[in-house]
Amino acid sequence: MEKVVIIRYAEIHLKGKNRGYFERVFTVNLERSLKGIRHELHRISGRYLIANFDEERIDEILSRVSRVFGVHSYSLGLSVPNTLDDIFAAAKSVAPQSGTFKVDTHRGDKKYSLTSMQINAEIGGRLLDENKALSVDVHAPQGYVYIDIRENGMALVFGQFFEGAGGMPVGTSGKGLLLISGGIDSPVAGYMMSKRGMNVEYLHFHSYPYTNEQAKDKVIELARLLSRYALTEKLLTVSVTHIQEEIHAKCAAELNVTLLRRFMFRIAERVAKRKEAKCLITGESLGQVASQTIEGMTSSNAVVSLPVLRPLVGFDKNEIIERAKKIGTYETSVLPFEDCCTVFLPDFPAIKPKLSFIEEEESKLDIERLVVEALNSIEEYRF
């Protein structure tokens, strides 16, 4: 009898002839997420098993597995030879100590001598004989004993299914560049895209000395938290200080944010191309702030040719917050270190900026020089 973590995967089985590729990426991701903990990863048909692991760190193993995209569900259970005696021995340690229970058998090996119903009856009966405090309730039991008869003479016995992160293995859907701020939204946007299998790289814009080091540290921490899912290893930062100063000094105040965002998109696109990323990702949500109107988004899109993915565009703030809490980034996002200095925030930002007005104001700036200067300020933080 051996303790194992049973992992079932989500959509990978839908992928027909590409299945081998998806499974290879999934395996690599599982290995990466378990790095530093003693374990063995085995693939059996339709399942992965983590075996021979450091039992003292089981909680950590389970929490890491819970964050791997592509995992549909997982269980902590026992692997035994598929004889009834062995299965019963495992079932005893999985079954509740008292109250109602139900045995639920699944037969992966259709050649097994007993049917699922027969196994349920046999193991259930033995459990009742053994422990008088137990009774059977097949409709609403307090506890379960799941039995999974695999091929190759093995059975898995466990008491609980935990819901996995779902989605697709990170790395199976190309690469995107996330514009990450210290706020609540952008880490969630990054999460959504990596959930769909995208490799997400991070780019953060700061304006030191108008913003402080703590604001940057906060973004690094957010990126690190997000990377527990996204498996990204570094954050890039770019200084937009000079751009903000020039906009502030030369352009109409109500366009401050609109113009800055256009610069951010231009810079991001160049970074994305260097990194071979195929799209930009932002945490924008329609109408959330003045710059996130359809006019605002259009004005930013107008300066880039790469697609801009906005996975949160139809989300309400509280829906985003709920997700951020689930991912574990919310508490860090709400720390009080702002990533934009109030100097640059106009009293009345333009809500529906006209493209002609934007371009007229922008013509007062040496766009190319400012973009190149910003690109020269790139710094990299590994975590």
Q: Which of 266, 271, 243, 265 is nearest to 310 (CA)?
A: 265
Nearer to another protein, 9 or 210 (CB): 210
List 110, 111, 129, 249, residue binding another protein (CB under 8 A): 249
| Tokens at 30, concatenated | 């599982």
# of chain residues touching another protein (CB under 8 A): 11
Judge if the upstream peptide bond of residue 209 is cis by omega within 30 degrees of 0: yes
Binding mask 342-361 toward another protein (x if CB under 8 A, else -) reads xx------------------
350 SS3 class = coil
- Determine, following the binding rule CB under 8 A, whether residue 140 of this chain makes contact with another protein: no
* 209 binding another protein? (CB under 8 A): yes
Answer for which of 3, 8, 72, 248 binds another protein (CB under 8 A) is 248
**Interacting stretch for another protein, rule CB under 8 A, among 58-66, 183-191, 208-216, 261-269?**
208-216
Site stretch for another protein (CB under 8 A), options 18-26, 202-210, 288-296, 312-320: 202-210
Q: Cβ distance 236 to 203 under 8 Å?
A: yes
Question: Is residue 53 near another protein by the rule CB under 8 A?
Answer: no
Which among 68, 34, 230 has a CA at the least distance from the CA of 163? 68
Residue 114 near another protein by CB under 8 A: no
CA 348 to chain centroid: 36
CB of 299 to another protein, least distance (A): 24
* DSSP reduced 3-state for 287: coil
Place of tokens 């499974």: 23
State both tokens at 260.
């800055």
Smallest distance, another protein to C-beta of residue 341, A: 7
Smallest gap from residue 217 Cβ to another protein (A) = 14
Query: Residue 239 corresponds to which tokens in the numbers above?
Result: 């200084």
- List the Cα angle 76/82/83 in 5-degree steps: 125
Report how far apart, in Å, the C-alpha atoms of 62 and of each of 23, 43, 55, 177, 261 are: 20, 17, 11, 29, 40
Residue 254 makes contact with another protein by CB under 8 A: no
Residue 205 touching another protein (CB under 8 A): no
Number of Cβ within 10 Å of residue 153's Cβ equals: 11
Contact of 80 with 154, CB cutoff 8 Å:
yes
**Cβ distance to another protein smaller for residue 213 or 360:** 213
- Report the nearest approach of another protein to the CB of residue 210 (Å): 5
Which segment (168-176, 207-215, 320-328, 375-383) binds another protein by CB under 8 A? 207-215
Cβ 336 to another protein, closest distance in Å? 6
Establish if 376 lies at the interface with another protein (CB under 8 A). no
Q: Residue 20, interface with another protein (CB under 8 A)?
A: no
Nearest distance in Å: CB 320, another protein: 24
Nearest approach, Cβ of residue 224 and another protein (Å)? 23
Distance, in Å, from the CA atom of 127 to the CA atom of 94, rounded to the nearest integer, reads 11
Is residue 93 helix, strand or coil? helix
What is the DSSP track for 27-77?
HHHHHHHTTTS--EEEEETTEEEEES--GGGHHHHHHHHTTSTTEEEEEEE
Stretch that binds another protein, among 65-73, 146-154, 169-177, 209-217 (CB under 8 A): 209-217
Residue number, 45 or 342, with CB nearest to another protein: 342
Answer whether 126's CB lies under 8 Å from 88's CB: yes
CB of 214 to another protein, least distance (A): 10
Q: How far is the CB of 300 from another protein (least distance, A)?
A: 24
Task: Report residue 40 as tokens.
Answer: 């063995």
* C-alpha dihedral, 293 to 298 to 301 to 303, nearest 10°: -120
Examine residue 253 and tell whether it contacts another protein (CB under 8 A). no
| Pick 66 or 212: Cβ nearer another protein | 212
**Residue closer to another protein, measured from CB, 138 or 343:** 343
State which amino acid sits at residue 183.
Answer: G
Stretch in the footprint of another protein (CB under 8 A) among 124-132, 141-149, 204-212, 309-317: 204-212
Site residues (vs another protein, CB under 8 A): 208-210, 212, 245, 248-249, 336, 341-343
